Amino acid sequence: MRRGPPQRPGAGRRDSPAAGLELDAGPRGPGSYRRAGPGALMATAQPRPSPPTRPRGLGLILSDGNCAGVAPPTGSPARGWACPRAPLATAQAGSAQARWRRPDPVTPAVLTAMAAARALGLSRLAAASAPLSGRLRPHPPRGRTPLPRAALHGSAPRPAARVALVLSGCGVYDGTEIHEASAILVHLSRGGAEVQIFAPDVPQMHVIDHTKGQPSESETRNVLTESARIARGKIADLATLSAANHDAAIFPGGFGAAKNLSTFAVDGKDCRVNRDVERVLKEFHAARKPVGLCCIAPVLAAKVLRGVEVTVGHEQEEGGKWPYAGTAEAIKALGAKHCVKGVAEAHVDLKNKVVTTPAFMCETALHHIYDGIGAMVKKVLELTGK
């Protein structure tokens, strides 16, 4: 139902002040009424015109009637610009009070404008990144030469160091110290090295029952077969190891180094070293390629490489902290130089490119052993130059 417009909102009206009149900014013509609810009439006002040359922005309507996060479009007159969501004026008790209603759904015209702006932004982004895209194309246009990888990374990738890990069985008392071998593998992996594992195909000196610390008289085991447990089956005979195919070699400790790779556990300074172990040490030394050894394994280098500098930790037991301190005197008797180092340290003989660390020659927490082995591996990889 339509009626003529009143002289002012709320004056000369039959509607109750509690119901009120609402001034709408919708498309109805000026001076028209419609019911907004029981006992209320809706008056529609002429919409406020937007700036003629610029579209309105989108704003956030707050509960207090303000439009947040929106500024007038650049170049638009500030006084003539208003929030695109028009307020509804509610006349109550003869006075108009502004309230805000839920924003209208986005119109097709707004969606079209947003799509056009998005397309324009994407086209500009594509134009700005065109030179980079040209470098990344797998098949460059005819007449163009593809740029090397160094153009993207700043420097060419360095090849991984190839490291040979030589084991002596599986188990601290008759083979490789497993924690040391695992720590070496972890640090080599973190350093990006390629690792190949080797062990001599020979019988163990004896087999130790690790629950009792006593030999199992009736049992025999093979060093290569036992070492394969640590290598997860990926292992080769030490006889096939050549320094020409690797950049470094590392020997973990464990009594296997003194029982299976040599006879040091029995003969001391008069020990003999396994033939392939001696050959490998001499090949890497002659090729100026680094060798790392930890725990008791430095005695191998001391026996084969005359005058080499190594460490097995401290030279005094210090109340049981260094229970194998006497090994230092045996190393000196072999003609090598012993250097005192802490468990978390590594000694580097730059002249011979031999790196050693005490590891389990010290009675200490496992993480200190791990840190010392990490220092040894780091220096070995640095000496490879890769």
Report the 10 Å Cβ neighbour count for 10.
Answer: 17
User: Quick check: is 83 catalytic?
Assistant: no
* Buried/exposed code over 365-383 (b: 16+ C-beta within 10 A; e: otherwise): eeeebbbbbbbbbbbbbeb
Query: Which region holds residue 78: left if phi is over 0, alpha if psi is between -120 and 50, else beta?
Result: alpha
Question: For the chain, how many helices (H) and strands (E)?
Answer: 11, 18
Residue tagged active-site, from 67, 170, 295, 362? 295
Phi, psi at residue 165, to the nearest 5°? -105, 120
Coil, strand or helix: which one is 251?
strand
Tokens read off for 104: 């209208």
Rounded Cα distance, 82 and 367, in Å:
68
Phi and psi (nearest 5°) for 313? 105, -130
Active site residues: 295
